[in-house]
Amino acid sequence: MKAALNADLHCHSTVSDGVLAPSEVAARAHANGVTLWALTDHDELGGQAEAMQAAADLGMRCFSGVEISVTWSGQTVHIVGLDVDTQDATLLEGLRRTRAGRAERAREIGQRLAALGMPGAYEGALPYAGNPELISRTHFARFLVEAGYCPDVQTVFTRYLADDREANVPMKWASLENAVGWIRGAGGCAIIAHPGRYKFSVHLFSRLYDEFKSLGGEGIEVVTGSHSPEQYIQYAHVARRYGFLASCGSDFHSPDESRCDLGRLPPLPPDLKPVWHDRL
């Protein structure tokens, strides 16, 4: 019998808001028993060459990957693209446009934090961003912890930076249509990331699934570091109902911050068709 795969198809490196370099993430995934891996940095493919080379050197199977920020119905939704052509010009240009505006937003986050009594956060967060084009709320959170304003990153989000908190500056990210179109145009599989994190009504969730599917979206994350075990069951049900392929990934960012380490998730329910089914 073929040994079951330990797939981890969602994680981050210093190319976005993770703390390890792409090759270090690969090494940690491999050490933790991952046999099929994808690095999915936010809005950026700059870490893929290093990631794929490191995976090849370790003898670990690997897909290319990206996590695209989308604005849909007034909320941020993340769409993972797996097995994309990392040289695809339309995808690269779309990601470049999606990243634009982060620097200006970061300055505004800095101003809001200053108004809340935490000055210097923009200058403080910058050195945490390994990729200056990809300064994110996570980098601010790490700075505020280091500066002693909060005990940990999670607390920073709960108090100041979560979507509904005062220092968050909302962005108009890519459209769902564009994100799915770029991924498909680059030969990849589009996947709704961590659906359990979105605050949509039942009605809006079904609209999201219908629209995503009609655009050619194929997958949904069922088992992720962002879901509770009850949510594994809930989104497995969604996968069956809509005929989505199922994906799984830790959403690992840092050994100190992530709820779930690389390779430490339970397997997908065996009746679901996994995203890698027709791609290995």
Q: Which residues are near ligand AMP by CB under 6 A?
A: 17, 42, 69, 136-138, 154, 157, 162, 253
Closer by beta carbon to Mn ion, 78 or else 142 = 78
Q: Which does 137 bind (CB under 5 to 8 A by kind): Mn ion, ligand AMP, none?
A: ligand AMP
The CA-atom distances, in angstroms, between 43 and each of 24, 50, 79, 109 are: 20, 17, 10, 19
Binding mask 218-257 for Mn ion (x = CB under 5 A): ---------------------------------x------
Closer by beta carbon to ligand AMP, 61 or else 264 = 264
Q: Which does 226 bind (CB under 5 to 8 A by kind): ligand AMP, Mn ion, none?
A: none
Q: Which does 154 bind (CB under 5 to 8 A by kind): Mn ion, ligand AMP, none?
A: ligand AMP
Binding mask 175-204 for Mn ion (x = CB under 5 A): ------------------x-----------
H/E element, 195: none
Tokens 């969602």 found at:
10
Helix %, strand %, coil % of the chain (to 5): 40, 15, 45
Q: Compute the least distance from the CB of residue 42 to ligand AMP, in Å.
A: 6
78 binds Mn ion, rule: CB under 5 A: yes
Structure tokens at 99: 């990243």
Q: Compute the least distance from the CB of residue 102 to ligand AMP, in Å.
A: 7
Q: Compute the least distance from the CB of residue 199 to ligand AMP, in Å.
A: 11
Task: With beta carbons less than 8 A apart as the criterion, state whether 255 and 11 touch.
Answer: no
Burial tier of 262 (Cβ tally within 10 Å: 0-12, 13-18, 19+)? buried
Strand, helix or coil at 199?
coil
Q: Which does 224 bind (CB under 5 to 8 A by kind): Mn ion, ligand AMP, none?
A: none
- Among 89, 64, 44, 68, smallest CA distance to 176 is for 68
Whole-angstrom Cα distance, residue 22 to residue 26?
6
Strand, helix or coil at 176?
helix
Closer by beta carbon to ligand AMP, 157 or else 198 = 157
Whole-angstrom Cα distance, residue 229 to residue 4?
20
Whole-angstrom Cα distance, residue 103 to residue 112?
14
Binding mask 23-62 for Mn ion (x = CB under 5 A): ----------------------------------------
For Mn ion, the binding residues (CB under 5 A) are 17, 67, 78, 193, 251
